Amino acid sequence: MADEPLVLGIETSCDETGVGIVRGSTLLADAVASSVDEHARFGGVVPEVASRAHLEAVVPTIERALKDAGVSARDLDGIAVTAGPGLAGALLVGVSAAKAYAYALGKPLYGVNHLASHICVDQLEHGALPEPTMALLVSGGHSSLLLSTDITSDVRPMGATIDDAAGEAFDKIARVLDLGFPGGPVIDRYAREGDPEAIAFPRGLTGPRDPAYDFSFSGLKTAVARWIEARRAAGEDVPVRDVAASFQEAVVDVLTRKAVRACKDQGVDHLMIGGGVAANSRLRVLAQERCEAAGIRLRVPRPKLCTDNGAMVAALGAEMVARNRAASSWDLSADSSLPVTDPHVPGAPHSPTHSHPHTHDHVHEISKENLYS
């Protein structure tokens, strides 16, 4: 293990300030500072609030991760950071911090893709990813089917949402039901006591002429909201648990059906599910049932690794180092719409010991004594 790359990863794409440290495929630290409570009163993530929270949390979270891992910053073989996609301001906080640490420590910098990181994190729990692997990524911002033949260089989009992501739909329905934010965990909790067949909610894009691998949850979201409004307008009680269960079943039915179909069509016998919605208990059960029936091996990380975290970024960074991928240039910037076809953002070879005109004046404002601790 000593000769495996030791990499620190920084994740600030949305409302979680995550810092992870891995050695090869072994997780040493996974520190997270969440600002979700600050967004709850708004019913969703506020970009400016998220950016300010990252500014306050990023350095203390890095220090906590180093302490938890029992390593010195000097020992690192590289620093990885989410370069996109995500909220532009939030991403810039992480990228700026990563560049400063990499420069001051004389370490290579790797700007990596948020979606590819969600796939790679499974290596920390279940070992090396088979090549190829089909990945179903479901979160508040993404619902995607991806085919990965090389997680560091070849990730191909098979399908994606054409409107709302699954996580967005969970948040919206939770608001309509007055269950709070974020919606995913609370809908899951209420659904366990409800009847998933109580209400026949629609399954979007599942007709014979619809795209095979794309998703649409806007129509479902609207149908559920109108059903609830109609009950309230008629003075009738809303069966919250049955609504939650029926809505959740409609979402996970479509997700798992299309994922298994993609695996069969592409001749892939492994399916990996990641992203925040992958923590949903019903999604995990139904995916397992359908994969077993189809002869497909299912890989789903434990819930904490499904949500945004620094461990996933460090995992992909370690893979970049292990496979000798080019480090990023000092002019690395955040790209809020970074395509998944770019698992990382390489640049021209550089030496961290030499200044870059875009970073030199800022890097020296940071105390190297603090970075080396």
pLDDT in tens, the chain (373 residues): 568 999 999 999 998 999 999 999 999 999 999 887 787 777 778 888 989 999 999 999 999 999 999 999 999 999 999 999 999 999 999 999 999 999 999 999 999 999 999 999 999 999 999 999 999 999 888 899 999 999 999 999 999 999 999 999 999 999 999 999 899 999 999 999 999 999 999 999 999 999 999 999 999 999 999 999 999 999 999 999 999 999 999 999 999 999 999 999 999 999 999 999 999 999 999 999 999 999 999 999 999 999 999 999 999 999 999 999 999 999 999 999 999 999 999 875 444 443 343 333 333 334 434 443 3
Q: Tell me which CATH code domain 131-302 carries.
A: 3.30.420.40
Q: Which tokens in the block code for residue 348?
A: 């021209």
Same fold: 6-121+309-372 with 131-302? yes
User: Do the annotations mark residue 46 as ligand-binding?
Assistant: no
CATH 3.30.420.40 fits 6-121+309-372, yes or no: yes
The residue extents of the domains of the chain are: 6-121+309-372, 131-302
Q: Record the pTM.
A: 0.90
Token code pair at residue 211: 């795209």
Is 280 annotated in a binding site? The answer is: yes
Does residue 54 have a known ligand-binding role?
no
Residue 118 is assigned to a ligand binding site: yes
Q: Give yes or no for a contact between 18 and 8, defined as CB atoms under 8 angstroms apart.
A: no
Q: Is residue 141 a known part of a binding site? A: yes
Q: Is 188 annotated as contributing to ligand binding? A: yes
Residue 1 has what pLDDT?
58
184 annotated as a binding-site residue: yes
Q: Is 139 annotated among the ligand-binding residues?
A: yes
